[in-house]
Amino acid sequence: MGTAREVMQRKLRTYILLDMPAWLIEAASLSNRSFITDSEKELIDLVRTYREFSKADLATFTEFSRTKITGCIDSLLNKKILIANDSTEYTGGRRSKTFSLNADLGLVAGVDIGATSIDLCIADFSGKILVRYSEPASVREGPIKILGHTCSLLEKMMQENNLSPEKLYGIGIGVPGPVDFSAGMLVSPPIMPGWDRYPIIQTVQQWFPSANVVVDNDVNVMALGEIYKGVGKGVDNLVFIKIGTGIGAGIISEGKIYRGSSGCAGDIGHISVNKSGPLCHCGNRGCLEALTAGPAIAEQALIAAQAGRSPILLKMYEKNGKVLRAEDVGNAAREGDALATEVIRESGQFIGDVLASLVNFYNPKVIVIGGGVSNLGNLLLSSIRQTVLNHSTSLATRDLHIVFSETGPDAGVIGAVNLAMDYMFTITTSNSERN
């Protein structure tokens, strides 16, 4: 994955041409909007990723001249987007300054709406999380109830922590379904009745009119969280695999989210791995999700336990009030239960088979395994790794790392904050850059 020194030795592509959906164009009229140039955006993204930089660092990471860097920094200082710090290291000679984001400029909220939970945070402009909260919730209750409750929770979090809603400049939202990113809407989400093309952005902006709201698929958002704060930091080509109630992949290609032409890239949960397998909620049979997501793992284990193959799992089922969860399967495996071990290993093999195809096709540097089912532990990870290594080409796996998420349950909210930060400014073209 590369040390900080190795990363510093190469040019890093940090600037990405952003899409220009209608909601982003409309954001230019927000009262708190800052207007910056392409070059200023590139420097901001570097500082966002690596916390603080000196002018010499910025020259190393970009192809800008010292004069251009100085001009951009002066402009960002005047706009109060950056602040200057005294260097913490001194090697003799003139002490250099470093520059970081102005944490006090505004607030950013991160919202991760899962199939069975809502996770929220409020961060300052540097990305530091100030407040964090989560609670169980079902997306099947519909957008009116879930979004209303989410906004109410954000208001409460701000009030209880003396944070001003007028300072909330951006809100990033991850949702568990296919998203038309240019419209900011879910399209035919299989587990979210009532959410199809519901105006999420407009609804949330009624509560927080000063904030630019950005919506994306939850796995894309988790992938962002991992490249900004997790094991994917400094990695340009990465796949984040969420294994929870459903299964999906967030793809980072050349440092940016790859969404595909319609926004549904990475929907690996509905790749068929067993044509005679169980019926999936999408209408097809044998989908990866129908065989290896959390509910599927629990169901397979329960059927086997009721057939007398696992007294440990059967005892857990009865103790939990006739409910068996994927986490119980993991606990049983850790107690040495052979049936639980078999279910987890087989799930890892199915997932590994699909990932092997992705590795051969896409050749990522890192695959990150996250989501609630990742808590099944190293047995799942080792099964995935072994299957990928067995079924991928040696060149594609030579430098491949398959690891658990470093950000864990915070991947979604961290990614949602950074999703909002990606679209926090309106890009203009200066006369010098136009020339």
* pLDDT at residue number 433: 52
* pLDDT at residue number 89: 56
Rounded-to-integer distance, Cα 313 and Cα 337, Å: 8
Instruction: Classify residue 136 as exposed, middle or buried by CB count within 10 Å of its CB (0-12, 13-18, 19+).
Output: exposed
Token representation of residue 346:
């087989």
For 292, phi and psi rounded to 5 degrees? -130, 0
* pLDDT at residue number 264: 85
Pick the CATH number of 107-225+413-422 from 3.90.25.10, 3.20.20.210, 3.40.50.2300, 3.30.420.40: 3.30.420.40
Rounded-to-integer distance, Cα 188 and Cα 176, Å: 11
Q: What are 285-292's contacts with CB under 8 Å, separation 24+? A: 288/247, 288/350, 288/351, 288/354, 289/246, 289/247, 291/347, 291/350, 292/243, 292/247, 292/347, 292/350, 292/351, 292/373
Token representation of residue 377:
């532990």
Topology annotation, domain 4-104: Arc Repressor Mutant, subunit A (1.10.10)
* pLDDT at residue number 11: 38
Q: With left for phi above 0 and alpha for psi between -120 and 50, is residue 193 left, alpha or beta?
A: beta
CATH class of 235-406: alpha beta
Across the strands, what pairs with 272? Answer: 287
Note down pLDDT in tens along the chain; length 435 residues: 444 434 444 433 333 444 578 899 999 999 899 999 999 999 999 899 888 888 888 888 888 999 999 999 999 999 999 999 876 555 555 567 899 999 999 999 999 999 999 999 999 999 999 999 999 999 999 999 999 999 999 999 999 999 999 999 999 999 999 999 999 999 999 889 999 999 999 999 999 999 999 999 999 999 999 999 999 988 999 999 999 999 999 999 999 999 998 888 999 999 999 999 999 988 899 999 999 999 999 999 999 999 999 999 999 999 999 999 999 999 999 999 999 999 999 999 999 999 999 999 999 999 999 999 999 999 999 999 999 999 999 999 999 999 999 999 999 999 999 999 999 999 987 545 544
Instruction: Classify residue 77 as exposed, middle or buried by CB count within 10 Å of its CB (0-12, 13-18, 19+).
Output: middle
* pLDDT at residue number 77: 96
* pLDDT at residue number 3: 45
DSSP 395-407: HHHTT-EEEE-SS
pTM given for the model: 0.89
Rounded-to-integer distance, Cα 76 and Cα 333, Å: 54
- Tell me if 231 sits within 8 A of 413, measured CB to CB: no
- Tell me if 61 sits within 8 A of 240, measured CB to CB: no
The reply to whether 107-225+413-422 and 235-406 are identical in fold is: yes
Query: Pairing mode, if any, of strands 168-175 and 179-180?
Result: unpaired
Rounded-to-integer distance, Cα 190 and Cα 217, Å: 13
Residues 6+ apart with CB under 8 A from 98: 52, 53, 54, 57, 84, 85, 86, 87, 88
**Domain ranges (residues) in the chain:** 4-104, 107-225+413-422, 235-406
Where are the alpha helices (H) located in 18-133, listed in sequence order?
Answer: 22-27, 38-50, 55-61, 66-78
Rounded-to-integer distance, Cα 368 and Cα 374, Å: 10
